[in-house]
A = this chain, B = another copy of it.
Amino acid sequence: MRKIALLIEYDGTDFLGFQLQGQGRTVQGELERAIEEVTGTRSRVAGASRTDSGVHAEGQVVSFRTESRLPPETLLRALNFYLAEDVAVKAAREIDEDFDVRRRAVSREYAYTLAVGPGRTALHRRDAYWVAQSLDLKAMNGAAAELIGGKDISSFTLAGESGRSGRRRVYRAELERRHGDLIDFVIEASSFRKQQIRLMVGTLLEVGRGKRSVEDFAAIVAAAEPGLAGPAAPARGLCLRRVNYREPLFATGD
């Protein structure tokens, strides 16, 4: 029995999220189907980060066990042949039997993309959220900085979420202009809870529109109480860019 890790990219638009459900198309379901086509046996796929319905990934990491003797490069090509065009294997390698891709991850990096301007976006309609009003980026970055450090970020969880600790280490949280009217909110933390980043973006947008001050935002963070955040921004702007491990699992561009 071998354990294989895959680096996965997907356009989340037409998926009901990463995780297998009773019904509907999921990334995990697609991967398990393709692995069965290639290896002849059903394998359970585990993911490093559970992305919600409509959320994209450029660097999801998954693993599965198989008795197949196919080399990783062959698995990569064969899986990409059987997968639909909106999900792809970008790299493949063998890992230790006891390496858990979720528990061993030291951080997850996500980006939430905004297209800001009076008219809607066309080219980025699947991977950015259009905001018509101009935004005070300086204020938004001031607010985002409040997230950095070892913080209880429970305010950015849905009201009524269970009482697990909300303490996380946030390594990075900033808004960057890409080019033209595109702005990326990039955040890296030890881990995230359901809808957490979309609730952060919804609240940061209130700051950017002048509906909340940076001080308000800081007070929301400090309260550490579920349900205080602004409305969740839509899923389509969010992308899991990268899962980090103590030692890089895959040789990639950066």
Which residues of chain A have a CB within 8 Å of any CB of chain B? 7, 9-11, 56-59, 73, 76, 80, 85-92, 111, 116-123, 125, 127, 177-183, 239, 241-242, 252-254
Contact = CB atoms under 8 A, between A and B. Distances in A.
Given A117-B91, A253-B117, A9 B179 contact: no
Contact of A88 (B121, B127, B183): B121
Given A116-B253, A118-B91, A123 B11 contact: yes
Given A7-B119, A58-B180, A90-B120, 10 more contacts: A73-B118, A76-B119, A80-B119, A90-B118, A91-B118, A92-B119, A111-B179, A116-B253, A117-B253, A180-B252
Contacts of A111: 179
A241 B180 contact: yes
8 contacts: A9-B119, A9-B121, A10-B123, A90-B120, A92-B119, A116-B253, A180-B254, A181-B252
A11 B122 contact: yes
A88 B56 contact: no
B252 A120 contact: no
A118 B181 contact: no
- The count of identical subunits is 2
Contact of A117 (B85, B90, B125, B177): B90
Contact of A122 (B86, B122, B177, B180): B86
A180 B59 contact: yes
A152 to B, nearest CB: 29
Nearest to A178: B178
Contacts of A11: 122-123, 125
Contacts of A123: 9-11, 56-58, 86, 127, 239
Contacts of A10: 122-123
Nearest to A13: B123
A178 to B, nearest CB: 8
Nearest to A125: B85
Closest 3 CB pairs of A and B: A88-B122, A90-B119, A181-B253
